[in-house]
Structure 1
Amino acid sequence: MAHYKLMDLASVIRSKNSGPYELTFDVIFKDFETYYKVRDAKVINAEMFAKLYSIPVEDILNVVYFDPAKAMKVTIVRPIPSGALGETDVYGAQQHAPLMKYEFDL
């Protein structure tokens, strides 16, 4: 078993709006071999994501692996609606930092 950082295995890690009440996180892996290993081990799952972002697991709406693109997507309930008072990232494009730092054994 080896230790990995997600940012070393992915070519893209990003976040963005998925409407005013949801955020979507995308991870596109560098190669299919790594993608399949991560997918099959379910390294990124609802429980892990909820813990990483300190949100209830019920706020994880979807965790989807998409084989043709060697990618996965997580959609969550946005803590504060886009553009609402107190919200600091209207486009949701700055929420991926915890995911970039995610480390795991595989």
Structure 2
Amino acid sequence: MPKLGDVASHVRSKVAGPFWVTIDVFFPDRDSYARWHDNPALRRESVAKIYEVASDTVSIYPVEKLNMVKISYPRATPQGGVTERDLHSGQQFAYLLEVEMA
């Protein structure tokens, strides 16, 4: 079974304000986007489990014109807090790379 890191052309994460993280999953072309964008591995419940947040706090935004999916979820701690481990959320995408696509 392919993994997200195998089917996506680029995956990045970034800070989306002091309380949110956004992950962008880009697919190489329209056909790949059509095949993978609504995969169960990229649904709210799956993302919530990976990032240990409530599923009703996860937002998924398909952007067909860019062959990408934007995923947003709340940060575990506010940006810049005492327990902050990834100030710019630049490493959060890595958890998705090994997710198996059904």
TM-score by length of structure 2 reads: 0.92
CA-to-partner distance for each residue in 1:56-94, whole Å, 9 max, x for gaps?
Answer: 21331x100000100001110111111011101111101
Matched, 1:64 2:67: no
Structure 2 unmatched ranges of 5 or more? none
Alpha-carbon shift at residue 44 of structure 1 (Å): 1.1
Length, aligned pairs only? 102
The structure 1 residue matched to 2:37, chosen from 19, 36, 39, is 39
Higher mean alpha-carbon deviation, 68-77 vs 96-105, is at: 96-105
Counterpart residue number, 2:84 = 87
Structure 2 CA distance for partners of 1:15 and 1:40, relative to 1, 3 Å: closer
The 3-state SS of whatever aligns with 1:13 is strand
Contact 2:39 2:101 in 1 (8 A): no
Could you say which structure has the higher strand fraction? 1
Contact 2:12 2:24 in 1 (8 A): yes
Task: Read off the aligned partner of 2:55 and give its amino acid letter.
Answer: V
Structure 1 unmatched ranges of 5 or more? none
What's the RMSD between the two structures over aligned residues? 1.3
Task: Read off the aligned partner of 2:54 and give its amino acid letter.
Answer: P
Query: C-alpha separation between the residues in 2 aligned to 1:34 and 1:66?
Result: 13
Query: C-alpha separation between the residues in 1 aligned to 2:40 and 2:100?
Result: 14
